[in-house]
Amino acid sequence: DARVTQTPRHKVTEMGQEVTMRCQPILGHNTVFWYRQTMMQGLELLAYFRNRAPLDDSGMPKDRFSAEMPDATLATLKIQPSEPRDSAVYFCASGPGTGSSLSGNTIYFGEGSWLTVV
C-alpha cells in the first residue's frame, strides 16, 4: 500500500532550535509539495519540486526555512531558528507529475508533522 511517509509525526521544540522534517514520497512520484496548515491561514504552499528540482518556494520564509530533495526518496524541510509562529502542521504530498498521459495524476498527502515551538 503506497503512501507518503512523514517524520516526525509530532515535535515540540524550544524557540531558536533547528527543526528538520522529512518526507518519503511514493515510489515513482516525481512531484513533491510542502504545505503548512495553521488554524488561521488554511493550507499554505511552502515549496514544491519536480524531478528533485525546486520549482517554486516563493511561499517559504527564506531567512529561516529551507527545502531540499537530496535524492528521489527523500525531501526535507528545515527551520533554523524556529519561532513560536512556526507552530503548525506541515504536510508533504507527492504526485506522479506530468507525462504523456493525464490519467492517474493524483496527489497524495502524508499524515503531517505537528510542530509546536515554545
Partner 1 sequence: AQTVTQSQPEMSVQEAETVTLSCTYDTSENNYYLFWYKQPPSRQMILVIRQEAYKQQNATENRFSVNFQKAAKSFSLKISDSQLGDTAMYFCAFFNNAGNMLTFGGGTRLMVKP
**Site for partner 1, rule CB under 8 A:** 31, 33, 37, 42-43, 45, 48, 50, 55-56, 89, 91, 93, 95, 97-98, 102-103, 105-109, 111-112, 114
Contact predicate 63/77, CB 8 Å = no
Among residues 15 and 43, whose Cβ is nearest to partner 1? Answer: 43
* Least separation in angstroms between CB 16 and partner 1: 26
Least distance to partner 1, CB of residue 57, Å: 13
Which grid cell is 54?
Answer: 525546486
Instruction: Report in angstroms how near the CB of residue 60 gets to partner 1 at its nearest.
Output: 15
**In whole angstroms, how far apart are CA 81 and each of 14, 26, 53?**
10, 29, 24
CA 62 to chain centre: 15
The residue whose grid cell reads 498527502 is 109
